[in-house]
Structure 1
Amino acid sequence: MKLGIVIYSSNSEVVWNAFRLGVYSLKQGDSVSAFLLGPGVEAESLDTNQFKVTEQMRSFVDAGGIILACSTCLTIRHAESSEMCPMSTMKDLYDIIRDSDRVVTF
């Protein structure tokens, strides 16, 4: 299955759980892409003592997942992309939605 995950939350627990689902799905043999949108582009800055978001994101990428970050949303926040979360466009989000068997949002 091809799974698309759209993350537009900046809540540490929510984002951590989104990537947990992604890692689990990849281990099941699925193809998974995540798109960070709106406040979701802040994902790499959401680590807490309880929710190691960036650790979960690294596990996701290491397992073969793809993370893309909305360039407009990054620009609005005066933030930059990273190696783990490269800048992307609405076309990339559209492609994820079009090509996925299922899309979930967090």
Structure 2
Amino acid sequence: MQILIILSSNSPEIKWNAVRFGNFLLNAGEEVTIFLNGPGVNLYDGDSEQFPISGEVKLFALSDGLLAA
């Protein structure tokens, strides 16, 4: 199944959870695209120890997930 996640928030927690959810779906064998919209385009803003967005994005890309903006 092809799944599209639309990310339009600048909240670090929401961005981190959206990419984590994408990784979960990729591990389940789904095809996943995350579309960055509006404030969500700045995906790495808010990357921190509490919300390691960059680590999740790296795993997402290495697992053949697709980011679109």
TM-score, length basis structure 2: 0.94
Structure 2: gaps (5+ residues): none
Alignment RMSD (CA, Å)? 0.8
SS of the residue corresponding to residue 23 of structure 2 reads helix
One-letter identity of the residue aligned with 1:50: Q
Map of 2:47 onto structure 1: 47
Question: Does residue 19 of structure 1 match 2:24?
Answer: no
Q: Which runs of 5+ in 1 are unaligned?
A: 70-106
Question: Using the alignment, how far apart are the partners of 1:10 and 1:34 within structure 2?
Answer: 14
CA distance in 1 between counterparts of 2:57 and 2:46 reads 11
Alpha-carbon deviation of 1:15?
Answer: 0.5
2:30 maps to which residue?
30
Which amino acid in 2 is paired with 1:6? I
- Report deviation, 1:49: 2.0
Instruction: Report the CA distance between 1:54 and its aligned residue.
Output: 1.2
User: How far apart, CA to CA, are the structure 1 residues paired with 2:65 and 2:40?
Assistant: 17
Whose Rg is larger? 1
Report the Cα offset of residue 26 of structure 1: 0.4
When normalised by structure 1's length, the TM-score is 0.63
How many correspondences in the alignment?
69
